[in-house]
Structure 1
């Protein structure tokens, strides 16, 4: 009997070693990992340069407190502000904590209570971020939600206009809804969201927890559209698997986060920051990001070509190396089937297969993964058809 709460539907895999795009379980079986810890290990497992930086920091000190001047915090904050075009950073431990900070900052800075988010969004599982999430299944059984959050359909400008009022502190959204099915915001719609918010004196919060840190081929996904957000949340890929989250905001918001207004004991831990500094230096390189775009296009083209004859496949979607295969049926059965063939993948929403390979994945690994996935989908579809 396990001593753990059964909060996760765990796979029958016990990892003992991982390197690059590969994970080995205790039986010795090797898997091509296109989950990367759910968009966390963006440089693959145990990247050498990150490992070296972490070991060097471990020899210095592990933790002090945010009462001290921590040079690494300033250095990583400058990397994030330079890459995002924003001004100030607060460090947390996770994406949920980052989004909590974003919500608190927006409400305090505006003096308004309401946050508008979108149906099928996902912003975390704390009480604040759970309330911000536009999926009822996340909230089931937890009683009344934190006020005031309002949810509108994604890409529906008229519904949004009807929801925005003088109580609206911020409109919060993902550029691509990672957990909700890889639903992308229409660029024109998102530009209008920003204009609507700013005309109303509201803030724009972009949740880049999954889409950020190079995942879509830009440092942050909002940069594909040319948005000018007030607050951006980040986590997952920021420190190559060590716990770190952050919000990046405009300097006009500084007064709302004055001393004592918010905090985090472990936020901005020096070991995580050492990992982040090297991770960001690698990923925010222009040539590296251009390569992410090319690899994403290659993977999408292989899937499009290989699955073109399968009517159950609706479309290939996503951006960069955040790719989804939207099906006309539930995606869940394809995950263990691919796993049996040595490929680790995820679902997004109900009907979408999600691929999140390392950003430095090799071309031959992309080719291998695409071949396994095409074979898996074809076998499943043909078996299902033969059984009817």
Structure 2
């Protein structure tokens, strides 16, 4: 028996070692990791820069609480603000916590309650972020949700253009819906959402938990479209596997999050900040993000070429190194077959295979993964 709550449908694989884009299980079998801890180990496993920063901090101090000044927090926050439109940062421990903070801040600052999110979105599993998530399956069984969330159709530009509800506190969206099927936002939809917020006196919250810190080839995914959110949330790739989240916001919001308004025991710890600083500095190194764009295009092109003959594949979409392969049937058996072939991928809904390789992945590793996908997806005719 297990002494754990059965909250996860776990694979019968125990990973014991990782290096770069490869991991090894307890039996010694090696895998090419195109999950990256669900877009967490963006620099690959055990990146030397992050490892060195953590080892250095381990020899100093681990935790002192947020009652004290914290220069590492200030340095990490400055890096985030210097590379975004934000002016202030709140550090926490996860993406759900970052989104929880964003929801609290939006309601407190605007003195309004209604928040618009989108169908098939995913923002977390706390009560507020579960209510914000536009997927009924996430909310089932928990009774009355926190009010007041309205779920609009994603990429419905016209609904944003027509929005004239001044009771809205915020519009909250993902630039690419990750759990919702790797669905990128249309640029015009994003721009109209920004305009709608200004028109009705609402805040624009961009959830960059999965898309941020270089995943799409930009430091934050929304920067490609030149929109200016009021609040940005980040986590996953922010700490290279070390638990950390962050809510970034404009300076005019700071007065609504004064002493006692929000807090965390572990958020912004010395160890987390060491990992964040090293991660961000690595992502910002010369040509790093340009290489992510290049590798993302390379992977997309290979997949389109190799899978065009597969009648299992409906389409391929994504941004940077966040790619979804939509299939005409459930993908569970395909993911199992890929794992048995030594390639780790994950689903995004019932019919989408999601690829999230480390941003440091090599072209040779991309080719290896593409060959494995080709073998599995071309192995049998789809039954429809």
TM-score range, shorter chain: over 0.9
**Any conservation in 1 of the 2:314–2:327 contact (CA below 8 Å)?**
yes
1 CA distance for matches of 2:331 and 2:21?
23
1 CA distance for matches of 2:321 and 2:184?
14
**Any conservation in 2 of the 1:83–1:284 contact (CA below 8 Å)?**
no
The question of 1:274 aligning with 2:274 is answered yes
Question: What does residue 55 of structure 1 align with?
Answer: 55
2 CA distance for matches of 1:332 and 1:133?
23
Question: What does residue 121 of structure 1 align with?
Answer: 121
2 CA distance for matches of 1:106 and 1:46?
36
Structure 1 residue 285: Cα displacement: 2.8
The question of 1:94 aligning with 2:86 is answered no
1 CA distance for matches of 2:286 and 2:188?
26
Render the CA deviation track for 1:114-135: whole Å, top value 9, x for unaligned.
1100000000000000000000
1 CA distance for matches of 2:326 and 2:122?
18
The question of 1:144 aligning with 2:141 is answered no
SS of aligned partner of 2:329? coil
The alignment of Structure 1 onto Structure 2 pairs a total of residues equal to 384
Question: What does residue 369 of structure 1 align with?
Answer: 369
Question: Is there any run of 5+ residues in structure 2 with no aligned partner, and where?
Answer: none
Question: What does residue 233 of structure 2 align with?
Answer: 233
TM-score of the two chains, using structure 2 as the length reference: 0.98
The question of 1:330 aligning with 2:326 is answered no
Question: What does residue 305 of structure 1 align with?
Answer: 305
Structure 1 residue 184: Cα displacement: 1.2
Structure 1 residue 284: Cα displacement: 2.2
2 CA distance for matches of 1:162 and 1:136?
26
Matches within 5 A, 1:178-257: 178-257=178-257
Q: Compute the RMSD of aligned alpha carbons.
A: 1.2
Residue 364 and residue 83 in structure 1: after superposition, are their counterparts in 2 closer, same or farther (change >3 A)? same
Structure 1 residue 309: Cα displacement: 1.1
The question of 1:84 aligning with 2:84 is answered yes
Question: What does residue 287 of structure 2 align with?
Answer: 287
**Any conservation in 1 of the 2:157–2:188 contact (CA below 8 Å)?**
no
Question: What does residue 342 of structure 1 align with?
Answer: 342
SS of aligned partner of 1:150? strand
TM-score of the two chains, using structure 1 as the length reference: 0.97
Render the CA deviation track for 1:95-138: whole Å, top value 9, x for unaligned.
00000000000001100011100000000000000000000000
2 CA distance for matches of 1:341 and 1:331?
15
2 CA distance for matches of 1:164 and 1:8?
41
